[in-house]
Amino acid sequence: MKLSSGFYVTLALSVLLGIADASKGDDLPEFRQCLETCVISTCNSDGIYKGTVYDTYSKHRFDKMPLPLHLSILGWNCENNCDYQCQRIITSEREANGLPVYQFHGKWPFLRVFGIQELFSTLFSIGNFIPNYWGFNTIWRQYTHERKLGNHEFCNLYWAYILVSVISMCAWFFSSVFHLKDTWDRERLDYFFAGMTVLTGFYAVNVRFFHLYRHENSKKRKFLALTCIFMYVCHVSYLLHVWSYTYNMKANVVIGLLQNFLWVALSITQFNKIKKEQLSLLENLKQSDVNWTLTPLLLVLSVSCGMSFELFDFPPKFDLLDAHAMWHFATIWPTMYWFPYMVKDTEGLKTRKFD
């Protein structure tokens, strides 16, 4: 059955204004009028709404169709391009009148650059992908080396770290794609792989902390893996049935805190085992052959501080750089130290130094 063009216009407007988290900008009458005018005048829908007023938001202010190829490739279409243009128009008008900048659909009205919706979040997501890729290569070399030597226990531990690096690369890839241009599918992939990263990290630190990489703990390790897989399937199934940002955040925070607790506990335990009893705490902290054991503690504190950007949100500077982008930036450098620490820690296990 073919639907009328009027239905498509109404559907487009309802989707643009209704599916995302409601924000103050969504309810502005001038934004709704601008969006309706743009959709009707540029998306092959002239004459559908006879009463639309074009004086305030002339159709000549909007991009002509068809869109440039690079915008179409990134996922822009006539309707969401209208949404973007009206966000920029209304925001410029409000700033000119000394009014506060509002969010639209739960996001700030960023300035699009070469079709990229959130430039710095995209760049910093790519920036996070790179050290994870480097870390994967580092861990993979160690894994293949131990496999050749027949050290299956350490292969088990390195394999857990390989999973962390691979899932993290996938997560940052989909984060980059999502920030290029947000769509329903890209948002889900971004959130699902972010959750998988947290759960995989939880699995890896349990394998390390409770020595599940050892042969005698093989059944426990497999049980943990199956439990994590079951938890993840239930998590995704629930979100697909009832999408909830609040639930998703709480679930990731709980698992993330448990993971961080184990890393910190491991770090302090290692430090106490390797520290030199004849030296004071401060002197031990100055010893490079001792203080490296506190790497997880430092990195957990660093990431936690970086998370404060998410708590103190602010309108994007220069219409490009917001708190979420800064959070992504803050997570780049810790990754550069995680994987070398994992290798050094695993090598120390060979001497039973940290048993």
Phi/psi at 31 (nearest 5 deg)? -70, -45
pLDDT of residue 264: 93
Tell me: the pLDDT tens digits for 166-211?
A: 999 999 999 999 999 988 899 999 999 999 999 999 999 999 999 9
Alpha-carbon span 307 to 304, nearest angstrom: 5
Asked whether residue 68 is domain-assigned, the answer is yes
Do 284 and 229 fall within a single domain? yes
Tell me: the pLDDT tens digits for 209-249?
A: 999 999 999 999 999 999 999 999 999 999 999 888 888 88
Asked whether residue 317 is domain-assigned, the answer is yes
Residue environment code for 74-99, b if the CB has 16+ CB neighbours within 10 A, otherwise e: bbbebbbbbbbbbbbbbbeebeeeee
Do 93 and 123 fall within a single domain? no
Bond into 66 cis (ω within 30): yes
Do 147 and 68 fall within a single domain? no
Do 123 and 93 fall within a single domain? no
Do 191 and 320 fall within a single domain? yes
Asked whether residue 129 is domain-assigned, the answer is yes
Do 217 and 71 fall within a single domain? no
pLDDT of residue 105: 86
| CA distance between the termini of the chain | 69
DSSP-based three-state secondary structure for 347: helix
Range of the domain at 42: 23-97
Closest CA to 6 of 55, 54, 39: 39
Do 228 and 258 fall within a single domain? yes
Q: What is the CATH number of the domain that holds 143?
A: 1.20.1070
Q: From the CA atom positions of the chain, what is the Rg in Å?
A: 25
Asked whether residue 5 is domain-assigned, the answer is no
What mean pLDDT, rounded, does the chain reach? Answer: 85
Residue 4 clears pLDDT 80, i.e. is over it: no
Do 181 and 277 fall within a single domain? yes
Helix 78-96 vs helix 5-18: crossing angle, to nearest 10: 50
The total number of structural domains in the chain stands at 2
pTM of the model: 0.84
Tell me: the pLDDT tens digits for 29-82?
A: 888 888 888 888 888 655 444 455 555 666 557 888 888 999 999 989 999 999
Alpha-carbon span 175 to 187, nearest angstrom: 8
Do 257 and 188 fall within a single domain? yes
